[in-house]
């Protein structure tokens, strides 16, 4: 990823980890030191190496929290995809009079995505860092595989525990 925390004299990293499951997903990094919290953010006008670790001293941090995302919008999208996929599949199969015509698999794909989507968004969490000036958030990317999802959740949980260890205000759900 190419981001490194620039430490001050006498500052030591308590927790530091990066997240990049594969090259198509934007990378992310977090770090906690005895004096500051580092949170990755994208530079606004950068062509190459567009990521940087933003430093927030402990006095600037109001709270660190980890909350579950509300999946209701995803459930609604899933229901729409199931209805559209099922309707277009039935229309495609019943509406074609030519028995030798090739049929597209897109309606079945839309139906399959609608069926899988609720399981993909289940248990997704958001890491929130509230500072004096603004609130930063990191949602782990949507993945079908449970490995990257568990790694992202463990990284978020370890970050919150490290913040708690250095005396910052933390709010994490128990699960």
Q: Are residues 20 and 61 in the same domain?
A: yes
What's the pLDDT tens digit per position in 109-163? 999 999 999 988 887 888 888 888 888 888 877 777 778 788 888 888 888 888 8
- Other CB atoms within a 10 A radius of the CB of residue 8 amount to 10
User: According to the model, what pLDDT value does residue 173 have?
Assistant: 63
Task: Give, for 27, the enclosing helix (H) or strand (E).
Answer: none
Query: What total of structural domains would you count in the chain?
Result: 2
**Do residues 39 and 30 make contact, with C-beta atoms less than 8 angstroms apart?**
yes
Q: Is residue 140 part of a domain?
A: yes
Q: Are residues 116 and 137 in the same domain?
A: no
What's the pLDDT tens digit per position in 51-107? 777 888 889 888 898 888 888 999 999 999 999 999 988 888 776 655 666 667 888
What's the pLDDT tens digit per position in 9-57? 777 888 888 777 667 667 778 888 888 888 887 766 756 666 777 888 8
Q: Is residue 6 part of a domain?
A: no
Q: Are residues 63 and 79 in the same domain?
A: no
Contacts of 23 (CB under 8 A, 6+ apart): none
Q: Are residues 60 and 142 in the same domain?
A: yes
CATH of the domain at 24: 2.30.29
Cα(145)–Cα(174) distance, rounded to whole angstroms?
A: 23
Q: Are residues 18 and 43 in the same domain?
A: yes
Q: Are residues 113 and 128 in the same domain?
A: no
Q: Is residue 62 part of a domain?
A: yes
Q: Is residue 32 part of a domain?
A: yes
- Nearest 5°: the CA angle 111, 116, 78 is 65
Cα(122)–Cα(73) distance, rounded to whole angstroms?
A: 12
Q: How many residues are given for the chain?
A: 175
Q: Is residue 1 part of a domain?
A: no
The pTM is what? 0.75
Domain that holds residue 132: 13-69+123-172
């Amino acid at each position: 990823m190419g981001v490194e925390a620039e430490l001050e004299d006498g500052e030591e990293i308590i927790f530091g980890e990066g997240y990049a499951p594969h090259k198509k997903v934007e990378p992310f990094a977090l770090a906690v030191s005895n004096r500051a919290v580092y949170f990755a953010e994208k530079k606004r006008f950068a062509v190459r190496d567009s990521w940087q670790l933003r430093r927030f001293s402990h006095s600037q941090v109001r709270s660190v929290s980890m909350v579950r995302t509300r999946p209701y919008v995803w459930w609604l999208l899933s229901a729409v995809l199931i209805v559209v996929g099922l309707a277009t599949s039935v229309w495609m199969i019943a509406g074609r009079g030519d028995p030798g015509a090739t049929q597209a698999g897109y309606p079945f794909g839309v139906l399959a995505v609608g069926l899988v989507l609720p399981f993909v968004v289940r248990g997704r969490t958001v890491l929130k860092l509230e500072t004096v000036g603004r609130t930063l958030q990191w949602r782990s990317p949507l993945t079908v595989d449970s490995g990257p999802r568990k790694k992202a959740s463990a990284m978020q949980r370890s970050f919150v525990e490290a913040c708690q260890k250095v005396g910052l205000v933390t709010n994490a759900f128990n699960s």
